[in-house]
Structure 1
Amino acid sequence: MGGFAEAEDLSGVVSDALGKRRRIAGVDRLRGGTKKGVYRIRLDGTGPASLIVYRWADEENFWPGAAGEVTDPFAPVSGLVPFLAARRRLDEVGARVPRVLWTDDTRQRHAADVAVVEDITGGTLEALFDTDPARADAALNDLARTLNLMHRHHAPRYGRVDLLERGGVALGDSCEQLVLDRALRDLDEAAGRDTRIAAARGRLDVRLRALRALVVPRTEYGLIHGELGPDHVLVSAEGHPVLIDVEGLMYFDVEWEHVFLRLRFGERYAALSRPGLDPPRLGLYALAMHLSLVAGPLRLLDGDFPDREFMHAIVEHNLREALALLP
């Protein structure tokens, strides 16, 4: 783990993508990626001053033992194929994503799947909330329109976009049962790692099953990002939101997305909320989401993920929130 690329490793990627006329002036590995390396390449010469390289390499995937089973919508996903499938679908619905300049998944010249995409230099929506609130608010309202387009783009089956594109069938019988089964596994795993969860394990199990019993079946699903926090939204020079980390794009209950949006956007979630969401699903998914955000980061900390204090903070916050949802 942790074998990051150096400038010399990326020079061949830049040469293949842009030709030998452009030379690398500097490389910055951008913070936040857990399943792929994301590098800003600063360039000499005419043309774009910088571009972004995505590098899906085993040594840059911090999730220990993650198989990435394509039929499981929640399995860690990594690679060029799901990225390109997600990008195509987002283009179809009118959601902005970085423009792809070049890709290679042959692993003949490069040791990983790689993609070269445009560099959106306006920063993240998360950063703009602090540095330019007016610009951030405008982008947030635009993001609400983007999410409305996505969530109203329906399919008769749930599952990751790249799976459904190939005619595959997702794991499980329903979104709500899939969420319950995953939450129970997360509960078991978290209880084995934290005494506070272990002490409340029985009550949390009962609560999850009771919430699941309130959910009625559904046969239509919206297009969701799955992990859409303000750090996964860049803002273009024109002030428009640009979605990143889209490999997990899937059709699913939109309530799952809204629970995550509410968690990550906090008081700003009001701009993204929408009428017509199903309260029983929201209740089940909220508790399941918090348990996932306890078990997942604890699992990640088994490896050598560098920002350990940040991950511990995620665990603590979501542990408290999960226990607060008990009756």
Structure 2
Amino acid sequence: MAHLGVADLAGTAQAAYGRDLRDVARLSGGSKKGVYRLTLDDGTTGVAYVWRASEDYWPEHEPDPLFGGASGRDLFLTAHTALSEAGMCVPRLVLVDTDVVVVEDLGAEFLEKQLDDSETLERLWDDLEAMHRRTSPRYGRPGTLQPLDAPPVPDVVLERALGHLKVCSERVPRITAERDRLETLLRQRHAVIEPREEYGLIHGELGPDHVLVADGRPVLIDIEGVMFFDVEWEHVFLEMRFGPHYRPVAGLDPARTALYRLAQHLSLAEGPLRLLDGDFPHRDAMREIAEHNVERVLAESD
């Protein structure tokens, strides 16, 4: 996949800063959008998010109505507004264009390199707790909430997990052998969940690689997955990604947590396997993620 260069983003730099563009560097990590550091003729920098087909490494597939469309300029802007209103720190907008958004370059390190900084971590957990307290009687993206009579969140998660189980069982013999057991386990965990009528605001994919640290303040990035949802979904992911640095919270529903843990491991096995069907460059890392989550899926039991 060819990356964008100075000629491709010179107009964006002019529109954002009124200056000539000296250099462009594609930053690592993006699979649905391109993330580029723009270096201007005076040495200052900005960051451009680019949503174009040429920047999307994911093979074509049937879209997931709630999760699968978690990319795009409009989702980014809606999420940016929702997080800002919730008091979360996000990069300042510099320019909004048709398929490009330019934000400030904070020149900050990722939190994954500062996990021993207890003060920053505590600030993140406090910020997230406040964010999760922002609620809605309907779930979904802040700008397109699902109707009140939409299927309950656990039903949505179950159907999605069954789809991921089907795909994984077609590609991973060890899961093929355990498919019936795993399907039964998913349905058993789903069956004991009690109804809920309120959902919290979540990031949706918050690992330490999606948090920058600027002057000791956690700054959220890769925010297109922001939605109102069961907060247990977020906490399962946080526990997976932060490991011993995760701060548990009281009041989570253990039934939802159990279902969502298995569902997320299935998702994190199926997604990387599908991404490897394309030309995603960081292939070893994707294989490791898929293998790790296959093992975690198989380890789940009654």
For 1:65-104, what aligned pairs fall within 5 Å after superposition?
A: 65-66=60-61, 68=63, 72-104=65-97
Letter in 1 for 2:168: A
Aligned match of 1:110: none
CA contact (8 A) 2:265 2:297 kept: yes
Which deviations, in whole Å up to 9, do the C-alpha atoms of 1:147-204 show, x marking residues without a partner? 011100000000112213xxx5399511101000000000000011110111110100
Q: Separation in 2 of the partners of 1:210 and 1:34?
A: 34
TM-score by length of 1: 0.89
Q: Separation in 2 of the partners of 1:68 and 1:305?
A: 19
Matched, 1:312 2:287: yes
Aligned match of 1:275: 250
Aligned match of 1:14: 13
Aligned match of 1:212: 190
Matched, 1:175 2:172: no
Change (3 A) 1:33 1:23: same
TM-score by length of 2: 0.96
Change (3 A) 1:78 1:190: same
Matched, 1:151 2:109: no
For 1:164-203, what aligned pairs fall within 5 Å after superposition?
A: 164=145, 169=147, 172-203=150-181
Matched, 1:41 2:23: no
Q: Secondary structure at the match of 1:227?
A: coil
Q: Secondary structure at the match of 2:106?
A: coil
Deviation at 1:62, TM superposition (A): 1.3
Query: Which has the higher mean CA deviation after the structures are superposed, 138-147 or 308-317?
Result: 138-147
Deviation at 1:45, TM superposition (A): 1.9
Letter in 2 for 1:318: N
Letter in 2 for 1:41: L
Deviation at 1:76, TM superposition (A): 3.2
Q: Separation in 2 of the partners of 1:160 and 1:28?
A: 31
Give 5+ residue unaligned stretches, structure 1.
106-112
Moved segments of 4+, more than 3 Å: 66-69, 168-172
Change (3 A) 1:67 1:43: farther
Q: Separation in 2 of the partners of 1:73 and 1:255?
A: 17
Letter in 2 for 1:87: H
Q: Separation in 2 of the partners of 1:188 and 1:6?
A: 40
CA contact (8 A) 2:58 2:278 kept: yes
Aligned match of 2:28: 31
Q: Separation in 1 of the partners of 2:86 and 2:7?
A: 38
Which deviations, in whole Å up to 9, do the C-alpha atoms of 1:291-310 show, x marking residues without a partner? 01111111111111000000
Question: Once the two structures are aligned, what percentage of the paired residues are identical?
Answer: 48
Q: Secondary structure at the match of 1:116?
A: strand
Quote the RMSD (CA, aligned, Å): 1.5
Q: Separation in 2 of the partners of 1:76 and 1:221?
A: 20
Q: Separation in 2 of the partners of 1:192 and 1:73?
A: 24
